[in-house]
């Protein structure tokens, strides 16, 4: 049993972020090396530990103020979807809640599911961003609330890695080992249901956390009381994604784009295959994982970041050493070397930007979830000349809507 303080969401460089608090008492290194994407984990916590992330009254307010529609907003009971006409009315994109009928569905045993609740709750959003900072991949958070004893979903496994936080009430879980190692989304039919006993059959209490790597079978039941939990859904890159990226890299070669020579001689077909093998081998050079991950991370969704009334004022102020720089259109930048020009380039805000290679170490530090001071960025550059060039380039990026500039402590 652990007894941490209630979770206060923060975002920063030290290992005292929201992510580190949800895995306490484990350290980040312990969690990532021993459990992340490897094994089931359950951690117990103090009641109320996660309740500030999304209190019941905030959830009620979200349901009252937002016109949520399926499939993002739905009810499930005994593994089946509840007919939306029972609790919603209106056209597809303008559906409104039938509040009394909705409550009746919940009282009959339906489980409420709201996907991407990180887009609706500031606290949950900051938690998702903290997870992205550590795990370096896209993250979303779904909400599950139940009141009776019926399971929302039948026994199943998810194609994503998940972390479950019990915010309020209790829920009984049964967790089983995978029947297919590292399954992909299309592997549902090839994964037989488990026949062994569950590795864990117990109650997730208020303040508890579990981690389920993809492929681990599970089913959860409310215990005839209000129960609210969040499922943090994380989708890291798979080997399949790396190989698809390699194919995209070699598309510029005519041999890859041409028809497979099915009517040619066996010798010609072998020659074509040898050329394809050569190109794929080149694309899978030793630095391929680093280049692929840079491109993968550059495509992570960045949530809008607006700070009024200061942002429009800060946007017109000169950049100084204390100015905080934060990416506005990407989680990170992905660089390419421009052949023949001696420069590097990257795409941002639908524009191709070019700069000298000397600036890349600083630009690689930029993130869409946290700011870096100009002083921090300049510290990794070779000399004062590069620092001045960086400040001019950052001003251009700010004017182009690629980065935010925010006031920092002098």
Q: What is the pLDDT of residues 254-296, one digit of tens each?
A: 999 999 999 999 999 999 999 999 999 999 999 999 999 999 9
Q: Hey, where are the domains in the chain? A: 18-234, 239-296, 310-406
Give the integer Cα–Cα distance in Å for 81 and 180.
27
**Statement: residue 12 has pLDDT above 80:** no
> Quick count: other Cβ atoms within 10 Å of Cβ 317?
12
CA–CA distances in Å: residue 34 to residues 26, 27, 60, 183, 299: 10, 11, 38, 20, 28
Give the pLDDT confidence score for residue 340 in this predicted structure.
72
For residues 10-17, average pLDDT: 56
Segment 196-213, tens digit of pLDDT: 999 999 999 999 999 999
The percentage of residues in the chain with a pLDDT greater than 70, rounded to a whole number, is 95
- Strands ordered across the beta sheet of 344-348: 336-337, 344-348, 351-355
Q: Please work out, in degrees rounded to the nearest 5, the angle formed at the alpha carbon of residue 355 by the alpha carbons of 349 and 356.
A: 160
Q: Which has the higher per-residue pLDDT, 318 or 40?
A: 40
Segment (H or E) for 130: helix 122-135
Distance CA 370, CA 360 (A): 18
Q: What per-residue confidence (pLDDT) applies to 300?
A: 92
Give the residues across from 344 on adjacent strands: 337, 355
CA distance linking residue 26 with residue 331, whole number of Å: 27
Confidence of residue 301 (pLDDT cuts 50, 70, 90): confident
Average pLDDT, the chain: 92
Which of 5-19, 134-148, 249-263 has the lowest average pLDDT? 5-19
Query: Does pLDDT of 85 surpass 80?
Result: yes
**Does the pLDDT value for residue 3 go beyond 50?**
no
User: For residue 188, what pLDDT is reported?
Assistant: 80
* CATH class assigned to 18-234: mainly beta
- Fold (topology level) of 310-406: Outer Surface Protein A; domain 3 (3.90.930)
pTM over 0.75: yes
Mean pLDDT computed over 16-32: 95
Specify the DSSP class assigned to residue 86. Answer: G
Burial 335-367 (b: 16+ CB within 10 A, else e): beeeeeeeebebebeeeebebeebbbebbeebb
87-114 confidence digits (pLDDT tens):
998 766 678 999 999 999 999 999 999 9
pLDDT at 213: 97
Confidence of residue 324 (pLDDT cuts 50, 70, 90): very high
């Amino acid at each position: 049993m652990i007894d941490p303080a209630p979770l206060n969401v923060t975002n920063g460089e030290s290992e005292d972020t929201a992510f580190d608090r949800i895995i306490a008492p484990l350290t980040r290194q312990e969690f990532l090396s021993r459990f992340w994407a490897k094994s089931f984990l359950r951690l117990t916590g103090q009641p109320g530990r996660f309740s500030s992330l999304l209190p019941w009254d905030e959830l009620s307010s979200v349901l009252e103020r937002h016109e949520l529609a399926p499939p993002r907003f739905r009810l499930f009971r005994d593994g089946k979807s509840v007919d939306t006409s029972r609790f919603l009315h209106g056209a597809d994109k303008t559906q409104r809640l039938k509040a009394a009928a909705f409550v009746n569905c919940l009282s009959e045993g339906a489980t409420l599911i709201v996907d991407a609740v990180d887009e609706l709750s500031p606290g949950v959003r900051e938690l998702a961003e903290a997870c992205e900072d550590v795990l370096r991949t896209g993250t979303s958070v779904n909400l599950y609330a139940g009141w009776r004893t019926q399971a929302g979903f039948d026994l199943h496994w998810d194609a994503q890695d998940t972390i479950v936080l019990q915010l309020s009430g209790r829920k009984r879980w049964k967790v089983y080992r995978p029947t297919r190692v590292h399954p992909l989304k299309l592997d549902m039919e090839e994964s037989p249901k488990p026949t062994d006993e569950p590795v864990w059959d117990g109650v997730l209490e208020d303040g508890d956390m579990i981690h389920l790597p993809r492929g681990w079978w599970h089913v959860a039941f409310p215990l005839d009381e209000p129960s609210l939990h969040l499922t943090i859904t994380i989708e890291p890159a798979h080997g399949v994604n790396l190989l698809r990226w390699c194919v995209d890299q070699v598309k510029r070669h005519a041999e890859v784009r041409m028809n497979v020579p099915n009517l040619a001689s066996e010798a010609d077909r072998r020659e074509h295959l040898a050329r394809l093998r050569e190109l794929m081998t080149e694309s899978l050079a030793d630095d391929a994982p680093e280049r692929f991950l840079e491109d993968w991370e550059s495509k992570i969704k960045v949530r809008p970041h607006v700070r009024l009334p200061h942002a429009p004022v800060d946007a017109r102020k000169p950049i100084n050493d204390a100015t905080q720089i934060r990416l506005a259109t990407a989680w990170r930048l992905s660089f390419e070397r421009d052949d023949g020009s001696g420069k590097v380039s990257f795409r941002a805000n639908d524009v191709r930007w070019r700069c000298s290679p000397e600036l890349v170490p600083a630009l690689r530090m930029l993130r869409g979830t946290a700011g870096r001071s100009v002083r921090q960025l300049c510290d990794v550059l070779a000399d004062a000349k590069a620092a001045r060039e960086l400040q001019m380039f950052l001003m251009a990026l700010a004017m182009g809507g690629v980065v935010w500039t925010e006031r920092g402590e002098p």
